[in-house]
Amino acid sequence: MHIGSANRASAMDLSLRNAKKFVHLDLKGAPPRIGYLIELIQLFADLGANGILIEYEDMFPYEGELKVLQSKAQPPYSREEIIFIQRAANSRGLEIIPLVQTFGHLEFVLKHEIFRKLREVDYCLGTLNPHCNRGVRLVQEMLRQVMQLHPKSTSLHIGADEVYILGLGEESKHWLSTPGHSVHQLFLSHVIKVAKGIQESFPNLKLIMWDDMLRSMTPETIKESGLVGLVQPMLWDYCPTLDVDNTVMLMEKYKSAGMSQQWVASSFKGSTAVYTCVTNTQRHVDNHLQWLKVASSLSAGIEIQGIALTGWQRYDHLSVLCELMPVGLPSLASCLQTLLHGSFTEEAQKKVTETLGTVEVGDTERLSSRTSSSFVGAKLAELIVKLTSMLETAELRHFQNNMFVRGWFTPYHRQKRIISPLIAQQITTQAKMILDAVECNVQEVRQEMCLLYPDSTVQEWMDQHVTPAVEPLQNLLRDMESVLNDMGLCT
């Protein structure tokens, strides 16, 4: 199967193919056990990556006043483990860029009561109040602690995407009431303040930020703000039908504002739906093919510094876990090779197959125990695909539409506490057959997942993805047993 073979470009610009390729490691959900994380780093290098964009969030061992930010679900990585991670990456020639949110997506900070007053508005846990000096000092201290533990890193990503409801706080409303003040200026002033603060401590550090809050600004607004020269934008778009022309226009706009050095961000997992469990490789390869088209259409003055292949583990700190890394690795391999070869050629497919084993590339959703995949986490990936398929069957999801349930155990029957014992046997037999099959697979997934992830992650995944599917059927059986017991027919 040749993914995207019809989309090959005859004269592809090499600016993106030759750019550094960073795998995004999102640790704000399902942080791998350290042994598995080291294996993943080796695999990233084998697949053709040049670096890792690592987002620790609450898995970083913050100290002092910031110690409260450490994860309570499982212990954060220790300082020694973070040093170990860097050594493993450096030994394979992988550069590490830490990513620390400094404005939006600060749920893991602002959820704590001690920092509650730092929110832009009380009901939004993600956005920092830009008028509070304590908030600025807080994020600068976060940056300082992270960079002190990454002495070899020459770049830092300061986030700043999706700064929701900025301008709706009381202090912001007062500030915006002054003629000439705008939300754009409010955003830019905070980012500049944070950037200048961290560069005072690390003057040679290159800073990167997400670009979405800049998209609606004019080149003049960006140029006059003082942002140019401080931070390089990283344009992100994870859509398989990415609008090439509009993206090129956006990059040209940033160039006209004086920001000729730019980054781009694609996606290999974690951007399909907030609750997705199984990665669709084709979708993500298509996204990379679109980015290659963008790169081939840019003017000569734009310098692409690198591409980050994002692999989100949650949409934000408070959302459900999406695809675990093992399930996304075939997609990552396919996307990296697509970038390296300009399309998913036979040579690219051969490299993926050699590295991962005889996996059916591009059809991760059909991965089964019949394959002989050899990549780290392959068995868990296969089991998750199998279990997910079971959980999505109409037989389980819509058991309430079963003839016997709709005919003899409706809400009316439950309210009146009556059921035909003979029909109850039919319902019980069918329901238990489904639940037993699911439970058998659940135990296999749990056992394999525990080898790669903390127990808390395993339980969270089960509670989020398995329980909602099986609970209605379990509740139905409990209700039926209770009714039979009331009728004096339950043994």
Give the catalytic positions in this structure. Answer: 162
Q: What does the block give as tokens for 261?
A: 């050095």
Q: Are 267 and 311 in contact (CB under 8 A)?
A: yes
**Cα–Cα distance for residue pair 487/491, rounded to 1 Å:** 11
- Of 67, 62, 58, nearest to 149 (Cα)? 62
Give rounded-to-5 percent helix, strand, coil for the chain: 55, 10, 35
Look-up of token digits 């999706």: 162
Residue 240 is which amino acid?
P
**Cα–Cα distance for residue pair 391/469, rounded to 1 Å:** 6
CA–chain centroid gap for 106, Å, is 15
Q: What does the block give as tokens for 281?
A: 């490789």
Q: Are 13 and 298 in contact (CB under 8 A)?
A: yes
First to last CA, the chain: 56
Helices 325-341/34-46 angle, 10° precision? 20
Q: What does the block give as tokens for 95?
A: 């550069």
Q: What does the block give as tokens for 366?
A: 């059909």
**Cα–Cα distance for residue pair 293/344, rounded to 1 Å:** 14
